[in-house]
Amino acid sequence: SSKIRNLEVQSADDVAVLEDCTDFSLEKTISKIEEKLERGGLPDCLDDDFVPSVENEIGAEAQIRCLKAKLRVMQEELDSVVCECRKKDDESQNLKSRLKDTAEENSRLQRTISMQHSQVEKYKMLSQEANKKSEVLQQEVIALEKVLQ
């Protein structure tokens, strides 16, 4: 089972995955590793395939170099993720701004539509009144034509 676990770790080495990032602190992690090294114990992370399986045979200096190299890689990954997050934040702000502009434009267009509807209703009423007047005048014309005949 440890070989299977090691294979899973190897396949995921190039992917930065934090299982529980709610209490993650790079400074805490580094200080824990340094404390264990000072006490002579090995850090927990030496199980993974980054440090050779002959970890007992390599010296503390080599282990420290390996851990520092791993730390640099992790820092680069962290910097990359932070940069990507900043880009996403900028994009999010841009989209929020565009959404606000679109909402304002929508509101303006709704007011325009409302005004145009009221104007249409007004002109419909004027048209109906003009039609009624026209009918009355036509009836008067017919009545006057009868009188003339």
Residues of the chain with pLDDT under 50: 1-22, 43, 46-47, 49-52, 54
Residue 38, pLDDT score: 73
Domain boundaries, the chain: 59-143
Cβ burial of 73 (10 Å; 0-12, 13-18, 19+) is middle
Tokens of 32: 């824990």
Residue 33, classified by CB atoms within 10 Å of its CB into exposed (0-12), middle (13-18) or buried (19+), is: buried
> Hey, what amino acid is at 126?
L
Q: What is the pLDDT of residue 35?
A: 76
Q: pLDDT value at position 139? A: 95
| Cα–Cα distance measured from residue 102 to residue 18, given in angstroms and rounded to the nearest whole number | 37
